[in-house]
Structure 1
Amino acid sequence: MNNTHSARLAQLIANNQQHLICGGLKGIEKESLRISKDGIISKTPHPKALGSALTNPNITTDYSEALIELITPPFADIKETLSYLQAIHQHVYQHLDDEILLCTSMPCGIKGDESIPIAEYGTSNIGKMKHIYRHGLWHRYGRTMQAIAGIHFNFSVPEALWPVLHQQENSSNNLEQFTSDGYFGLVRNFQRIGWLILYLFGASPAICKSFFNSRPQLMAQFEEFDQGTLYHPYATSLRMSDIGYKSKNQANLRINYNSLPDYVSSLSQAIATPFPDYEKIGVVVDGEYRQLNSNVLQIENEFYSIIRPKQIAQSCEKPTLALKRRGVRYVEMRSLDLDLLNPIGIDEGKARFIEALLLTCLLQDSPPMTEADFQTNNHNQLQVANHGRKPGLELEQNDKKIPLQDWAHEILDSMNEVCDILDKDDGDKPHSKALLTQQQIVQNPDLTASARMLACMRQTGQPFSRLALIQSMEHAACFNGHKPDETFTKQFNDLAENSLAKQAALENKSQLPFDQFLKQYFSQQCTDDY
């Protein structure tokens, strides 16, 4: 995806329909570790005042009981999305007592795997399944990796655009198939250039030594920043490196993104294929589940990818089956680190840039991916995660080496037209301004989030853990210093109350024996009887 011309966009402009790319829905999922004011991971349960983590649509937990996840609905105006995220934070802080939210992606205050409490979801079958799945992740990857936090940016293309593209390209597929193909083209292009997100916004160039308490053998590959911190001098996002979400356990997994059927088939195969190392762990040992199964993946969510095609799953419906039945509804971009300088972890300019980048990925040609492409994309991502700011760093593009900065400028130049269209009715030109900011960062790597973070640590003489704690305390003071909006407070309190009632209703219903429930789930004969 290095050409600046897009035939798809050119035809929209020729027909005066380019405005149809505006107004796509944007939602955000933001994870944060709850910590004490001395920086130690929380051992307390998810606050009951925030509702049920199983059934609350806006406030839940991810891997750990301490890893809270805040979810906004999707909005066409990113300002509404960010305002909602701000309101959730404001509400959560009313119920944290003496705890705060850690503002960085890489965790601090961890004393080995056992210090990380696995999330609990109650006694219903679906709640047990979610908890056992996390136990499986512990046995497969360790708990520490699962305590990493990030932001997922959800984006759906404006619905009105698809029929126009379908008609102008004379597709023989029906509209649903055409739409899914379009989303997979977006996904493939993002995988080719997704390293740019790590370069621009990666904010995890350093790690607390405590992160390696359960995996001390990994420390040797890093340099020592200070007594408590390890780092790579030119790293951008160690969260997205092979000590973070880029797990070596999945290095040989080949998920096919060339079409929806190929994607569903390859992912389903991984979920159904036994894996010898996981068979050694055992599934049920001494009457207790250690994992849901001993296959390559327990469920779809175990596959770590920088971007996922998504469909909203119905009650007890497997994600792959939801995609197969109803096609792709949106994409989930997963490679964004928390911005430690922003109380909610992301700002408007960054969000507008991401929207423009995803639309550019949609509008550019997107040839099928080969095995060589998979290797190249993975190589480029790891290079940028570990060494992205290294002077003269070259990446692989079309079987050739290209300087990172040259390729980054190509991508940014290809976004100009999309940004102009998105800004047509806004005199402030926010998308174009966001693009200009990123062009300046490409010109000067010292302006990247990762470089600024390391510079701050050097100037203040603070280890990573201290910087993270001080910044987190400042964010907490910001939220605690403002009176929450009464309308949002009532809304979130009602959601919490309703979610607790819903969980109780699930647990009070007659349920299948768990073994039978699990068998039916994987054979996808589930009903509403959890």
Structure 2
Amino acid sequence: MAQSRHHIFKQFAASEWQGFRKGVEKEGLRADASGFIAQTPHPHALGSALTHPRITTDYSESLLELITPVYDTTAGMLEALGHTHQFVQQNLGDEVFWAASMPCGLDGDSSIPIANYGSSNVGKMKHVYRQGLAVRYGRMMQSIAGTHYNVSLPEGFWQQWQQAVGDSELSLQDFKSEQYFWLIRNFRRRSWLLMLLFGASPALDQSFVANVRHNLSSFNANTFFGEQASSLRMGDLGYHNNAQASLNICFNELKTYTRTLERAIHTPWPPYEKMGINRDGEYIQLNTSVLQIENEYYSALRPKRTVASGEKPIHALMSRGVEYIEVRCLDLDPFAAVGITAPQVDFLDLFLLDCLLQDSPRIGDDECARLDNNFKDVVARGRGRDLALQLGNRSVNAGETALELLDSLQPLAEQLDGWNGDATYVRALAEQRHKLEGSWCLPSQQVLDAMVSSGLGHRDWALDMSLKHKHSLLAQPLSDAVQQQYTAFSLESLQQQQQIEAADTLSFADYLNQYQQS
């Protein structure tokens, strides 16, 4: 009988374990002192959103995105994220960096300025892509913020793992891609657990759903909430749309994933064709396909590969394989100054490693539908103690199944801690178990409890939390060396943007055509 992958991993020596490689992309709106979305341009002191290595914008000019380099420790990654937050807070004036995933006060699409990246062709393409999102889905859903966690295992691990599992027929590149998709299939089976443990957006400001039909309940005069919701961000009011509902993106292996995704980029969608590409002499979208580019596809996780300038993500994956995975379903933790905590990161590492070590058969259409339903059910009704999930042919209680899954991670946590000589993973696991035992203190419930305790609606409560985080971060001044580093980042990024703009020789139409034909 073949050894289980867990058993094979147990035979690794401590000296052979090289840990995780990790980074974070953390989004958050800039809001004014009243809790309304900022109408000001991206602060000049934060440099160029096009070229800054750590501070950019996502959809909106008001939606910041902070990016860490890759680290091999949680502490190093969070320290870097904290430094970037401190520098940002220094340069926001009276504005705040919004602490919640669901947005601050809005006044329809026109109140959400689309991000501007300058006059270069690459900058224009980023802007037109966002304009395309606006005409396709509206701007409101693009104002939602989250945390994306990027993680990989080092090259040395993959060499040892390939030898240990006895798969020598594939090149190391193809083996890594195959194994990452092995992990991804199990992530798909278990992603509902992350929404239960980390969903933290059960309420929203009434301005987000003004003139929109919904089934939310009234919290107070200016706030709605989901009676049992864990994450409105990941629900029907968040990242979804009819065109993408028609897609059948296959996560079984790299070949099927890239093939189905590329087909979506080249499949015309009649409503988008009716809109056209230009309006009044201005580009309103990059093309009229189901997807303009790969990033338009909303998913809880993506296989990723660092791309060269002008290179399409799909082509990078096809030519050089999967480099890391991006977990995209995480709400901001509104109680944490940087939106994410060390125990959460450590648990994610443990969870993802176990996804690699468990058996992972291909996912058929029936299972795929069940997995999607489980995820949606936890998003919409995760706080319900009687929520049932469908695992295979069985109906199971979500909370009990979650505890069983956490218990199954205990041996792996102890193994990693034994190698590291501490209790990092056991403690991270215990923190998640605590959420599901006794009083059922899920983050989504903690948010509602805090709002009730404060007597505030979502906008005022989130504004209060944002101000508290701002004050705590500003109370920890950056060292002179770090301050100088970030000042240099900003100046250099502005210079780089000017150089890119000066180097353009093609018209935007020719540039776009060349990119799409590449």
How high is the TM-score relative to the length of structure 1? Answer: 0.95
2:36/2:104 contact within 8 Å kept: yes
Asked whether 1:232 is paired with 2:229, we answer no
Q: Deviations over 1:37-69 (max 9, x none)?
A: 110111111111111101111000000000000
Q: How does 1:103-502 map to 2 (within 5 A)?
A: 103-171=99-167, 172-213=169-210, 216-219=211-214, 221-444=215-438, 446-502=440-496
1:22/1:422 contact within 8 Å kept: no
What's the C-alpha RMSD, in Å, of the aligned pairs? 1.5
1:203/1:340 contact within 8 Å kept: yes
Secondary structure at 1:32 match in 2: strand
Asked whether 1:75 is paired with 2:89, we answer no
Q: 1:518 aligns with which of 492, 507, 512?
A: 512
- The alpha-carbon distance between structure 1 residues 305 and 93, as it changes in their structure 2 partners (threshold 3 A), is same
Q: Deviations over 1:355-393 (max 9, x none)?
A: 100111111111111122221121111111110111211
Q: Distance in 2 between matches of 1:494 and 1:305?
A: 35
Q: Distance in 1 between matches of 2:340 and 2:56?
A: 19
Q: Deviations over 1:112-138 (max 9, x none)?
A: 111000000011111000000000001
Q: Distance in 1 between matches of 2:315 and 2:50?
A: 21
Shift of 1:217: 3.1
Shift of 1:479: 1.7
68-77 or 426-435, which moves further after superposition? 426-435
Secondary structure at 2:115 match in 1: coil
What amino acid sits opposite 1:8 in the alignment? R
Secondary structure at 2:144 match in 1: coil
How high is the TM-score relative to the length of structure 2? Answer: 0.97
Q: Deviations over 1:124-183 (max 9, x none)?
A: 111000000000001111101001000001101122121122122222211110100100
Secondary structure at 1:308 match in 2: strand
Secondary structure at 1:27 match in 2: strand
1:21/1:158 contact within 8 Å kept: no
Shift of 1:488: 1.4
443-452 or 193-202, which moves further after superposition? 443-452
1:242/1:248 contact within 8 Å kept: no
Q: Deviations over 1:416-465 (max 9, x none)?
A: 22211221255540210110121121224631111011112222221111
Asked whether 1:507 is paired with 2:501, we answer yes
Gaps of 5+ in 2: none
1:446/1:452 contact within 8 Å kept: no
Secondary structure at 1:217 match in 2: coil
| Structure 2 residue aligned with 1:61 | 57
Shift of 1:512: 1.0
Shift of 1:333: 0.4
Gaps of 5+ in 1: 525-530
- The alpha-carbon distance between structure 1 residues 6 and 270, as it changes in their structure 2 partners (threshold 3 A), is farther
Secondary structure at 1:70 match in 2: strand
Q: Distance in 2 between matches of 1:21 and 1:103?
A: 36
Q: Deviations over 1:315-357 (max 9, x none)?
A: 1100001111111110000111111111111111111001100
- The alpha-carbon distance between structure 1 residues 207 and 248, as it changes in their structure 2 partners (threshold 3 A), is farther
Q: Deviations over 1:204-248 (max 9, x none)?
A: 0011110013xx2323x1111111111112111110112111434
Q: How many residues align?
A: 516
Q: Distance in 1 between matches of 2:41 and 2:393?
A: 51
Shift of 1:400: 2.2
What amino acid sits opposite 1:372 in the alignment? D
- The alpha-carbon distance between structure 1 residues 281 and 345, as it changes in their structure 2 partners (threshold 3 A), is same
Q: Distance in 2 between matches of 1:12 and 1:287?
A: 59
286-295 or 160-169, which moves further after superposition? 160-169
1:9/1:18 contact within 8 Å kept: no
1:275/1:296 contact within 8 Å kept: yes
Q: How does 1:23-34 map to 2 (within 5 A)?
A: 23-34=19-30
Q: Distance in 1 between matches of 2:397 and 2:3?
A: 23
